[in-house]
Amino acid sequence: MLLDALLDKRLLFLSGKGGVGKSVVGTALALAARDRGKRVLLVEIGSSLEAARYLGAPPSGPRETEVVPGLFTVNLDPARVMDEYVRQVVKIEMLVRRILESPVYHRFFAAAPGLKELMTLGKLLVLAEAHERWSRRAQYDLILVDAPATGHGLSLLKVPVAASAAVPVGPVGHQARRILGLLRDRKKTGLLIVTIPEEMAVVEAVELHRLATAEVGMEAQGVVLNECQERIFSEAEEAQVLRLAAEGASGRLERGIPLAGALRAARRQVRRAKLTRFYQTRLKRTLPLPLVCLPYLFREEIGPEDVRELAERLAAA
Tens of pLDDT, residues 230-254: 888 888 888 888 888 888 888 888 7
Residue 311 within any structural domain of the chain: yes
Residue 235 within any structural domain of the chain: no
Per-residue pLDDT band at 133 (split at 50, 70, 90): low
Overall domain count for the chain: 1
Residue 304 within any structural domain of the chain: yes
Per-residue pLDDT band at 151 (split at 50, 70, 90): confident
Residue 91 within any structural domain of the chain: yes
**What does the alpha-carbon distance between residue 34 and residue 307 come to, in Å, rounded to a whole number?**
13
Residue 9 within any structural domain of the chain: yes
DSSP 3-state of 116: helix
Residue 272 within any structural domain of the chain: no
DSSP assignment of 15-28: E-STTS-HHHHHHH
Write b or e for each residue in 73-108: b if 16 or more Cβ atoms lie within 10 A of its Cβ, otherwise e: bbbbbbebbbbeeebeeeeeeeebeebbeeeeeeee
Residue 210 lies in domain: 2-228+290-316
The mean per-residue pLDDT over the stretch 81-107 comes to 82
pLDDT digits (tens, 9 = 90+) for 176-185: 899 999 999 9
| CATH of residue 152 | 3.40.50.300
Residue 51 within any structural domain of the chain: yes
Task: Please give the mean pLDDT across all residues of the chain.
Answer: 89
The share of the chain scoring above pLDDT 90, in percent, equals 49
153-167, 242-256, 262-276, 279-293: range with lowest mean pLDDT: 242-256
Residue 63 within any structural domain of the chain: yes
**What does the alpha-carbon distance between residue 288 and residue 305 come to, in Å, rounded to a whole number?**
32
The mean per-residue pLDDT over the stretch 180-191 comes to 94
The share of the chain scoring above pLDDT 70, in percent, equals 98
Longest distance between any two alpha carbons in the chain, whole Å: 79
